[in-house]
Chains A and B, each alone.
Chain A
Amino acid sequence: MTRIGVYVCHCGLNIAGTVDVEKVTEYAKSLPNVAIAKHYKYMCSDPGQRMIQDDIKAHKLDRVVIATCSPRMHEETFRKAVAEAGLNPYLVEIVNLREHVSWPHAHEPEKATEKAKALVRMGVARVKLLEPLRRRKVSVSKDVLIVGGGIAGIQASLDLANAGFKVFLVEKSPSIGGRMAQLDKTFPTLDCSACILTPKMVDVVKHPNVTLLTNSEVIDVKGFVGNYEVSVLKRPRYVVEDKCVGCELCTKVCPVKVPDKFNEKLGQTRAISIYSSHAVPKVAIVDPDHCLRLKLKDAKKEVCGKCLQACEARAIDFEQQPETVQLKVGAIVLAVGSEVFDALEMPEYGYGRFPNVISNIEFERISDASGPTGGKIVSPRTDKQPKNIAFVQCVGSRDKRFHEYCCRVGCMVSLKQAILAREKMGEDVNIYICYNDLRSFGKGYEEFYRRARDLDVNFVAGIPSDVRMAADGSLYFDVFERGTNKLLEMHADMVVLANGLVPSADIARINELFHASRSSDGFLLEAHPKLRPLECSTAGIFLAGACQGPKDIPDTVAQASGAAAKAVDMLSSGEIELEPLKAVVDEDLCSGCRVCESICPFLAIEMKQEGEKLRAEVIEAVCQGCGLCGAACPTHAIKIQQYGSNQVLAQVDAALAEAQVKGGSRS
C-alpha cells in the first residue's frame, strides 16, 4: 500500500500570500494514499527538509509530494534530502504552487487555492506511478576545449592548465589576445593593456598543458558531456610555425598592400605579415585573398614569391593544406567574445561618410603607441590633430531600433579615452562627452569619472539627433543640454562614437554547433542569470567573457576563472552522474520504424540490428529527455522515464476528477 507524504510550502508569503496553504493541506489529507500532509514556511530550509526526512522514517513513507516553487529551483535539493532518508530520490514529485499558481493568479486568491488543490491532486495521482531510478556513472575525459583566445579564454586556459588539466585553446584569428590586445590602456587603472596581457599570453603558449591552435575553428561537435568529440579546422598560414622566427623580412619585401584588420583597417599591412605587434604566436601568415601567388595558383607561371626569397628560415610553404584535428574533451568553455557595433547602421551620425567621425575602437588604435599613428591623437583618416573632440554615447545601445541593452562599458571607455586625450594633448584640446546616463558602477569607476571631470572633460547631458559635416570636413551638431536647458550648437574636429558591444558574428554558428542557447539580446544564455551564470543549460558547456553578455575586463577574468573552476568541479573525479530522466525503449513494442531516430534533435537514438529486427536504442548520455520521440512513436514503445502515458494520463484524470463531482467530500 503506497504511503504518500504531502508537504505544502508557504515560501514565505510568495505562495501563502495568495494560496490558502492550510486549506490545501487539509484537502491533501483527504486524497487517497496520503498518509500525512503538512505545511511549513520554507520547505527548502534545514528544518523543512528534516521534517520530511523524519516523516519518511517515522511514517514509513514511500512517496513524497512537495507543493512549492518551481522544480528548477529546488528539485535537486529535495531529491538529495529524501535520498539521505533512504528513499529513492526519483520518488519525489514537485508541484509548482508559485510560478504556476500564486504568482500568475495573485489577484484571485480563492480560484488560486482551488487550482492549488487540483495541482496537488494531480501530483498525488502521478507520484503513485513513479518508479525508482538510479543515476548511471560515466567516465569522462579530463581534457578541456576552450573556444576563443581572448582574455577570457586565456585566463580559463591558465587556470585549468595550472590545475593539471590538458587544455586545447582554439582561436580563429592568427594570434590570441582578442579585443584586449587592441586596447591602449584599460580602465580604471589606466594600466597598459598589452603590458598586463602579454605575460599571460606568453604563459599560455609556453604552458606544457596547453595546446594552442590559432587560425583555427571548431567545425563539428559530437558526443556528450564528459565525452565530446570535436573537430577543429586548422586553416593554413602558408608558414611553418616551428620554423618562422618572426623577423618580418617577408613583410618588408611583399608588394601587396592589405587593409590592416588588427588596426581596424586604419592602416595597411602586407599580404604576408605578423598579425599584430604583440602577436602570440609570433609567426607570419599569408592572406590567401590578397597574396598574388595564392590567388593565381592555377596560372602557368608562378608569380611573385619575393617572400620565399627573403625568408632565411625557409619557413614559407605555399603548398600548406588545411588540417582537421580531432579532439576528445570532457568539457568545453565558450569564450568567443563580442564585436563592436557597426555605426554604418546609424547613418545619421555620419560614420562612413564623414572622415572625421570615428568609432571608439578606432580611437583605441590611434591612441596605442603601436598603432597606425604611433600613439598620436589625430583623426586617422585625415591625419589632422583635433582641437575639439566630441564623444557621443550609446550608439547602437539602449536603442529599440538596434540593441535594447546597455553595453555596460561604453561610458567607461569614453571616460578613459577622454582622459587619455587630455593627458596626451594637454590643454590644446577641448573634450566633450554627450551622454544620456553616465554609468560608472564598478570598483574605482566613480572615482575615474571624477578624475575625468578634474581633468576638465566637459559633460553635455543630452544626445544629438544627428551629426553634420561642414565644407572643411569639421563636424557640427545641435544638442539640447539638460542642465542648462539650452540648445547648444557644437563644433568638433573629431567625433568619437561610443559604439556598443554586440554578439559576435559567429554567434549563430556557435549556437548551433554547441547547442548553446541564446538570450533575446543575442548573447549566449546562461543556465540561470543569478545562480548559474557560468554555464549553459547544455551540460558540460561553460561560458566565459563577453560572449555571455557585454562586460569589462575585471568581470571577464572573474567569469573565466569561475568557468574554469566549474569545469574542474565537473571533471576532477574522472566520472559524472547522468540524470536518468531519459528516453527508454520497450524492445517488445518497437517496430523499428525509425521515426524516433529521425525526429531526435540530439541524434541520441541509434538503430541496432537484432537478428531480423531493427530496434531503437537510446544513447543515454546524449539524450536530453525532451520527449519528442515519445510523442512521435506510433507503438508507444519509447517513453521518457516518469513521463509515460500512464503517468501523464493519471494526472489528466486527476485534473478532471473534481469536474464530475459536485459537492463531493471536500474540506
Chain B
Amino acid sequence: MSLVDSMSMAKPNLESRKKILAKLRGRELINCFQCMKCTSGCTALKLLELKPHEIEKLVNLGLVDELASSDIIWTCATCLKCVERCPQKASPYHVIIALRNLAVEREAKVPEELMKGISRILEIGLAWSFQDVVTRKMETFDRESLRLPKIDSPKESFQAAFMKALEER
C-alpha cells in the first residue's frame, strides 16, 4: 500500500498487519465499513476517548506501530459490546488485544500491574496473592478462618509450560 500519515509521517507496517489479521480467529477486520456502531456504544469513549472504529481503520491501513506504543489501546474496558453489535463481525476488541500483545512483545507502554500479575502466576499460580479481608465492621478474616480449602502451589512443570506459552508469538 502506498500511503503515508501526513501528520506523523508513519508508513504502513504490512508485516504487523498480517500478524494481527492471522490472530483474529475469523473476526473480519478487513470488512469494517466504519458504521460507527462500536464507537457509539463504547464503554470507554466518554471517559477515555477510545474510538474502536478508528483503531479498526488504522490497523486495516497498516498504521500499526504508533498504536502499539500508544496509551489508547490500554483504555478498552473489554465489555465486548463492539463484538456483539458489529454488523460485519469486525470485533475491535480482538484487534485491541492483538495490539496489546504486540506492545508487550515490543516492550512498549504496558501497565505495571499486568506484568506483576504474570510474575505472581508463575510463583503462586494466581494473579493476586492471598489477602486478608477487612469487613465493614472492621473484622479481619483469612482463608482459613473462613474455612475455605487450601490451594496447592503450582508444580515446576506448570511453570515451565507457562513460560513456554508466554514465548508464543
Contact = CB atoms under 8 A, between A and B. Distances in A.
Direct contact of A and B (CB under 8 A): yes
Interface of A: 348, 394, 398-401, 436-437, 461-466, 477-482, 487
A401 B33 CA distance: 15
Given A436-B35, A465-B81, A400 B89 contact: yes
Contacts of A400: 87-89
Contacts of B35: 394, 436, 462-463
Interface stretch (B10-18, B38-46, B69-77): B38-46
Contacts of B129: none
B3 to A, nearest CB: 19
B30 to A, nearest CB: 13
A480 B88 contact: no
Contacts of A401: 87
B100 to A, nearest CB: 22
B43 to A, nearest CB: 10
B89 A463 contact: no
Q: Determine which residue in A436, A437, A463, A466 has the highest number of CB atoms from chain B within 10 A of its CB, and name it.
A: A463
A489 to B, nearest CB: 9
8 contacts: A461-B36, A462-B40, A465-B37, A465-B38, A465-B81, A478-B41, A480-B39, A487-B46
B85 A482 contact: no
Given A463-B36, A480-B40, 19 more contacts: A394-B35, A399-B87, A400-B87, A400-B88, A436-B36, A461-B36, A462-B37, A463-B35, A463-B40, A464-B37, A464-B41, A465-B41, A465-B81, A465-B85, A466-B41, A466-B85, A480-B51, A480-B53, A482-B34
Nearest to A487: B45
A464 B42 CA distance: 10
B87 A479 contact: no
Interface in B13-33: 33
Nearest to A477: B40
Interface range for B: 10 to 19
B87 to A, nearest CB: 4
B169 to A, nearest CB: 29
B161 to A, nearest CB: 37
Given A394-B87, A480-B51, A480-B53, A463 B37 contact: yes
B28 to A, nearest CB: 8
Contacts of B34: 436, 482
Nearest to B89: A400
B87 A487 contact: no
Nearest to B38: A465
Closest 7 pairs (CB-CB, A-B): A465-B41, A462-B36, A399-B87, A480-B39, A436-B35, A465-B40, A480-B36
Nearest to A461: B36
A399 B87 CA distance: 4
Nearest to A346: B85
B78 to A, nearest CB: 16
Nearest to A462: B36
A170 B53 CA distance: 49
Contact of B87 (A398, A461, A466): A398
A137 B139 CA distance: 98
B88 A479 contact: no
A463 B32 CA distance: 13
A283 to B, nearest CB: 44
B81 to A, nearest CB: 6
A122 B100 CA distance: 57
A492 to B, nearest CB: 15
Nearest to A401: B87
Contacts of A464: 37, 40-41
A407 B40 CA distance: 23
B23 to A, nearest CB: 20
Contact of B36 (A348, A399, A479): A479
Q: Determine which residue in B34, B46, B53 has the highest number of CB atoms from chain A within 10 A of its CB, and name it.
A: B34
Contacts of B41: 464-466, 478
Interface in B68-118: 81, 85, 87-89
A461 B36 CA distance: 8
A398 B87 CA distance: 7
Nearest to B34: A482
A478 B87 contact: no
Nearest to B87: A399
Nearest to A460: B36
A482 B36 CA distance: 8
A474 B88 CA distance: 30
A480 B40 CA distance: 5
A348 B40 CA distance: 13
Contact of A481 (B36, B37, B38): B36
A480 B53 CA distance: 10
Nearest to A482: B36
Contacts of B51: 480
Q: Determine which residue in A398, A400, A461 has the highest number of CB atoms from chain B within 10 A of its CB, and name it.
A: A400
B154 to A, nearest CB: 41
A477 B41 CA distance: 9
A487 B41 CA distance: 10
Contacts of B37: 462-465
Contacts of B88: 399-400
A132 B86 CA distance: 58
A217 B22 CA distance: 52
Contacts of A487: 39-40, 45-46
A462 to B, nearest CB: 3
Contacts of A462: 35-37, 39-40
A466 B87 CA distance: 13
A33 to B, nearest CB: 52
Interface string B41-65: 1100110000101000000000000
Contacts of A394: 35, 87
Contacts of A463: 35-37, 40
B132 to A, nearest CB: 41
Given A394-B35, A436-B33, A465-B81, A479 B89 contact: no
Contacts of A461: 36
A427 to B, nearest CB: 28
Contacts of B87: 394, 398-401
B84 to A, nearest CB: 9
B104 to A, nearest CB: 29
A436 B45 CA distance: 20
Contacts of B89: 400
A8 to B, nearest CB: 39
Contacts of A437: 33
A475 to B, nearest CB: 14
Nearest to A348: B85
A436 B32 CA distance: 12
Nearest to B33: A436
Nearest to B46: A487
B42 to A, nearest CB: 8
Contacts of B81: 465
A478 B46 CA distance: 10
B40 A478 contact: yes
A495 to B, nearest CB: 14
A115 B147 CA distance: 75
A50 to B, nearest CB: 48
A483 to B, nearest CB: 11
A487 B46 CA distance: 8
B48 to A, nearest CB: 12
Nearest to B53: A480
Nearest to B36: A462
B49 to A, nearest CB: 9
Q: Determine which residue in B41, B45, B53, B81 has the highest number of CB atoms from chain A within 10 A of its CB, and name it.
A: B41
Contacts of B85: 348, 465-466
